[in-house]
Amino acid sequence: MQAVVVDEFGPPNVLTHHEVADPEPGPRDVLVRIGAVGVNRADLLARAGQYYLAGPPPLVLGLEAAGEVVKVGSEVTGLGPGVRVVTRGATNAPGFYAELAAVPATSCVVIPEDVTFEAACCLPTAWLSAWYCLHTLAGIRPTDRVLVHAAASGVGSAAIQIARDAGARVVATASTRVKVAWAIEQGASVGIATSDLDGSSLANAVRDRLGGEGPDVVLDSVGGPTFAESLRAVGYGGRVVALGNVAVAPTTLDTRDFYPKNLTIHGFQITTLMGHGYDPGPDLNLLLEALRQRRFVVPIAARFELRHAAEAHRMLEDRTTMGKVVLVP
């Protein structure tokens, strides 16, 4: 089969197209012919040697995929050839930048017939993270005002639709006015282009948009100095969820910015959550059903053939995308 392999850490051009042996499913595995693969920032970090969970090269990247079962192991029940599934794994375990992948049957969730591979493959990382953070950690309510940073990202665009679906009002931040306008098209009520702040406080801008009050929930995937602004912005009794640090920068905090507000700070990382027993299957089924009902629409920013994975990485690194980037073998 064809696969994209990282033979050494480095820039996007280290992604090389190889002919490799077809994987063989174990007794409890299924062999999936990949229909679409979600590209995530963790893939970029793994390729560059900056992702602690990735391990050394050679590596096959890819955390999430959707496709069709072509073979099942001797102990597998409930799945058979021809069944459409979405699945999640890890870099090199098995890695989905390939035409085929052998995965544990327990990691597969059946896709409804009217949900596409491209939409389904985007759920297990960004969409599942946004869903869990808003519903399980933040306990989102219809009366909530929700601040979503990096609103044009995969997580951000998912969070806007999920919060709106729950009846909440969304304030979206993004780097440019174009991205803010796009976030409002996705369902945000108001937006803030951070490029317009010109050194002024993001927290003050958020409160201005909310009539002087702070949001009830903040979803912060940016980290760095933005996380400090999130704690300054949030209202009394608010919930702040930190699920990333794409700024790749430290955060300097003043405890006086948050402890008087009796707020709650949650940390979230989906891979370690699964490693501690979280079964994503029920939440993935809820997301798939919402897609089937057209309550959610996964925005696809760009599609690339598998052999053009380097171009997909360059696009994501340029931070110009709005929505998800997918690979199609």
246-256 pLDDT per residue, tens: 877 889 999 99
**Gap between the Cα atoms of 255 and 284, Å rounded:** 37
215-233 pLDDT per residue, tens: 999 999 999 999 999 999 9
Q: Is the pLDDT of residue 244 over 90?
A: no
**Gap between the Cα atoms of 60 and 46, Å rounded:** 10
**Gap between the Cα atoms of 242 and 297, Å rounded:** 24
Q: Is the pLDDT of residue 198 over 90?
A: no
CA atoms within 13 A on the CB side of 133: 33
DSSP three-state, residue 137: helix
Residue 166, phi then psi, degrees to nearest 5: -80, 0
Query: What is the secondary structure of 11-73 as a DSSP string?
Result: SGGGEEEEE-PPP---TTEEEEEEEEEEE-HHHHHHHHT--TTS-SSSB---SEEEEEEEEE-
Residue found under tokens 């890695």: 95
pLDDT score for 51: 85
Q: Say if residues 233 and 215 touch (Cβ distance below 8 Å).
A: yes
Q: Say if residues 241 and 220 touch (Cβ distance below 8 Å).
A: yes
Percent above pLDDT 70 for the chain: 100
List of E strands, 175-315: 190-193, 217-220, 239-242, 264-267, 300-305
Query: What is the secondary structure of 147-195 as a DSSP string?
Result: EESSTTSHHHHHHHHHHHHTT-EEEEEESSHHHHHHHHHHT-SEEEEGG
Type of residue numbered 312:
A
Q: Say if residues 1 and 304 touch (Cβ distance below 8 Å).
A: no
Q: Say if residues 86 and 288 touch (Cβ distance below 8 Å).
A: yes
51-99 pLDDT per residue, tens: 878 889 999 999 999 999 999 999 999 999 999 999 999 999 999 999 9
pLDDT score for 248: 78
Q: Is the pLDDT of residue 181 over 80?
A: yes
112-154 pLDDT per residue, tens: 999 999 999 999 999 999 999 999 999 999 999 999 999 999 9
Q: Say if residues 221 and 138 touch (Cβ distance below 8 Å).
A: no
